[in-house]
Structure 1
Amino acid sequence: MGALQFTLLLFLILLHSCNIAAYKDEEWKKATATYTKDTEGSLITEGACGYGDLHKASYGKYSVGLSTILFSRGSTCGACYEIRCVDHILWCMLGSPTVVVTATDFCPPNYGLSVDYGGWCNFPREHFEMSQVAFSEIAKRKADIVPVQYRRVKCQRSGGLKFTMSGSSHFFQVLITNVGMDGEVAALKVKGSRTGWIPMARNWGQNWHCNVNLQHQPLSFEVTISSGKTLTSYNVATAKWQFGQTFEGKQF
Structure 2
Amino acid sequence: MSPSLPLHFLFTVAAFLTSPVSSHFSSTSSSPSPDSTPSLSDWRSARATYYAASDPRDAVGGACGYGDLVKAGYGMATVGLSESLFERGQICGACFQLRCVEDLRWCIPGTSIIVTVTNFCAPNYGFTAEGGGHCNPPNKHFVLPIEAFEKIAIWKAGNMPVQYRRIKCRKEGGIRYTVSGYGIYLSVLISNVAGAGDVSAVKIKGTRTGWLPMGRNWGQNWHINADLNHQALSFEVTSSDGVTISSYNVAPKDWNFGQTFEGKQFES
TM-score, length of structure 2 as denominator length = 0.84
Which of 221, 230, 238 is matched with 1:224 structurally? 238
Query: 3-state DSSP class of the match of 2:250?
Result: strand
Q: Does 1:245 align with 2:259?
A: yes
Q: C-alpha separation between the residues in 2 aligned to 1:87 and 1:214?
A: 55
Which residue in the other structure is 1:40 paired with? 55
Q: C-alpha separation between the residues in 2 aligned to 1:25 and 1:211?
A: 36
State the 1:26 CA deviation. Answer: 2.9
**Deviation string for 1:89-127 (max 9, x for gaps)?**
2221123x1000000000011011111222010112100
Please identify, of 38-47 and 27-36, the stretch whose mean Cα deviation from structure 2 is larger: 38-47
Q: Report if aligned partners of 1:44, 1:63 keep a CA contact under 8 Å in 2.
A: no
Q: Does 1:59 align with 2:48?
A: no
Q: Aligned runs of 1:76-155 on 2, under 5 Å?
A: 76-95=91-110, 97-155=111-169
Q: C-alpha separation between the residues in 2 aligned to 1:46 and 1:53?
A: 5
State the 1:44 CA deviation. Answer: 5.4
State the 1:23 CA deviation. Answer: 4.3
Residue identity in the other structure for 2:99: R
Which residue in the other structure is 1:10 paired with? none
Which residue in the other structure is 1:203 paired with? 217
Which residue in the other structure is 1:26 paired with? 41
Which structure has the greater CA radius of gyration?
1
Which of 159, 179, 183 is matched with 2:173 structurally? 159
Structure 1 moving runs of 4+ over 4 Å = 20-23
Q: Report if aligned partners of 2:40, 2:166 keep a CA contact under 8 Å in 1.
A: no
Query: 3-state DSSP class of the match of 2:65?
Result: coil
State the 1:38 CA deviation. Answer: 2.0
Greater per-residue helix proportion: 1
Q: C-alpha separation between the residues in 1 aligned to 2:153 and 2:38?
A: 25
Q: Report if aligned partners of 1:43, 1:104 keep a CA contact under 8 Å in 2.
A: no
Q: 1:228 to 1:67 in 2, by over 3 A?
A: same
Q: Report if aligned partners of 2:199, 2:237 keep a CA contact under 8 Å in 1.
A: yes
User: What fraction of aligned residue pairs are identical, expressed as a percent?
Assistant: 53
Q: Report if aligned partners of 1:43, 1:65 keep a CA contact under 8 Å in 2.
A: no
Q: C-alpha separation between the residues in 2 aligned to 1:173 and 1:238?
A: 17
Q: How many residues align?
A: 232
- Gaps of at least 5 residues in structure 1 are 1-19
Q: 1:187 to 1:206 in 2, by over 3 A?
A: same
Q: 1:41 to 1:67 in 2, by over 3 A?
A: farther
Which residue in the other structure is 1:3 paired with? none
**Deviation string for 1:169-219 (max 9, x for gaps)?**
121110001000111001000000111100000000000001112111000
Higher RCO structure (Cα 8 Å, ≥6 apart) = 2
Which residue in the other structure is 1:74 paired with? 89
Q: Report if aligned partners of 1:218, 1:239 keep a CA contact under 8 Å in 2.
A: yes
Q: Report if aligned partners of 2:58, 2:68 keep a CA contact under 8 Å in 1.
A: no
Q: Report if aligned partners of 2:40, 2:168 keep a CA contact under 8 Å in 1.
A: no
Which residue in the other structure is 2:29 paired with? none
